[in-house]
Amino acid sequence: MPTALAETDRKIVAFLQEHPDASQREVAEHVGLTQPAISVRVRRLREEGLLRIIVGLDPQKSGLLLAKIDVRTTDPQGLIDTFRRCPLLVNAFLTLGGTDVCLLMIGESVENLESIMDVHIRPMKGVQSADLQIVTRAANPVVLSKAMAATKCDRTTCGFMCPACRYYREDLCTGCPATVYYKGTFWR
């Protein structure tokens, strides 16, 4: 059941959505409360998980491609768990309808995204179908809220070795930014 927000809390959230850098004094002036009252309300909203401030990078403005990948699978949670720590994952959604999972992923090139599909998603146990669409525009800003500094390991977060991949060997894929094999430009 959805949590009902008080009118004042809705005004606070709406103002912060439009002015994320606003001070508590500015919020207080807009809502008509004191700064200490706003501080208490904002702290409570955050503690309850109702208000989140997300800082990150807009992948499209940085030159990265954003892809929506719809997957039909017998193990939706397993698929999400596989990509949970992937530096290329923007977000993952369990869905109802024609597909089970929707992944928002980023890549430095179309070939990079193609390798994610052909090497990582389609061969996964339980995957019945997968459809990739490159996002050309978004109605609202998309934020890459993951850490920009990836730890450099010899295996990807999903356990794959980049040099074993045809796409990587043929310079179609930059490799995983979390590995020592990464040869792209964005995460250097």
Domains and CATH numbers, the chain: 7-47 (1.10.10), 65-147 (3.30.70.920)
Helix, strand or coil, per DSSP, at residue 139: coil
Phi, psi dihedrals of residue 95, rounded to the nearest 5°:
-130, 160
Is pLDDT of 1 > 80?
Answer: no
pLDDT of residue 151: 67
Residue 97 one-letter amino acid: G
**What is the pLDDT, as a whole number, of residue 52?**
86
Would you state the pLDDT for residue 178?
Answer: 86
Rounded to the nearest 5°, which phi and psi values hold at 142?
A: -105, 135
pLDDT in tens, 38-86: 999 999 999 998 898 888 888 878 889 999 999 999 999 999 999 988 8
Residues 14-23 have a mean pLDDT of 90
pLDDT at 145 (0 to 100): 76
Rounded percentage of the chain residues whose pLDDT exceeds 90: 60
116 C-beta neighbours (distance < 10 Å), count: 26
- Closest C-alpha among 94, 155, 153, 150 to residue 120: 155
Length of the chain as a residue count: 188
Q: What residues have CB less than 8 Å from 170, skipping those under 6 apart?
A: none
Q: What angle do CA 11, 13, 16 make, to 5 degrees?
A: 105
Give 70 or 154, the one with higher predicted confidence. 70
Return phi, psi of residue 13, to 5°: -65, -45
7-11, 101-105, 154-158: segment of lowest average pLDDT = 154-158
Check residue 22 and give its pLDDT: 92
pLDDT of the residue at 5: 82
Sequence-ordered alpha helix ranges (H) in 19-101: 24-31, 35-47, 76-83
Which pLDDT does position 147 carry in this prediction? 60
Kindly state the average pLDDT of the residues 168-174. Answer: 91
Per-residue pLDDT band for 112 (boundaries 50, 70, 90) equals very high
Q: Which residues contact 58 (CB under 8 A, 6 or more apart)?
A: 141, 142, 143, 144
